Homo-oligomer: A and B are copies of this chain.
Amino acid sequence: MKKAVVLLSGGLDSTTCMAVAHHEGYRLFPISFDYGQRHSRELECAQKVAEYYKADYHRVFRIDYVGGNALVDRKVDVPDFAGGDDIPVTYVPARNILFLSYAAGYAESIGAGTVFIGVSAVDYSGYPDCRPEFIEAFEKVLKVGTKMGVEGSPVKIKTPLINLSKAQSIRLATELGAPLHLTTSCYRGGEKACGVCDSCTLRLRGFREAGMEDPIEYEMK
């Protein structure tokens, strides 16, 4: 049975990736990161999703991360949704680069040929490391910079959501029976989702566009 490493944050998109990888018949090796994020509730959600899919092992990498942004630095406020094309203050320098580096190293060490990551270039909230050109550039790095790569079978990065809007991802997740009730997306990480940060706003809008009800609880929506 072919193995896949799945970047699992406990959010909507990564849980949808778990569902896709499961549907495609992979043996699932979810990984999560504890990087001092405000929304550490994510990690509990990731654990529940990993259990839901009966993953053999859910690896959590602890990352000594660098500050200076709203997701890890408690001195920087998480803003309410503003829209626009600018890179937001919730941008974490090199985050997906770092996450994919761990995923690729882990994949190589367990003999997995595939990494799933739930990035979307459609509702991507302005992060440069969610675009197809970034994924392609990273695959090139794996091709020339790893043992599996130079031996002709580099780890492949699958991005099943890259061309999907949030609403389309939600429909896909629902079709595949993904446990969306176990997920969280809120950047503020409170007991209930805040309903007004970028991430909550995009999530709620996605559910509305998909004509569905979000199964999680909100402070306001």
Contact = CB atoms under 8 A, between A and B. Distances in A.
A64 B66 contact: no
Can you tell how many copies of this chain the complex includes? 2
Given A109-B68, A140-B137, A144-B131, A94 B104 contact: yes
Interface in A118-173: 128-129, 131, 133-134, 137-138, 140-147, 149-150
Nearest to A86: B147
A97 B98 CA distance: 8
The majority secondary structure among interface residues of chain A is helix
Nearest to A73: B109
Given A93-B146, A94-B145, 17 more contacts: A65-B105, A66-B109, A92-B105, A93-B147, A94-B104, A94-B108, A97-B146, A98-B101, A98-B102, A101-B101, A128-B146, A128-B149, A129-B145, A131-B144, A134-B141, A137-B143, A138-B141
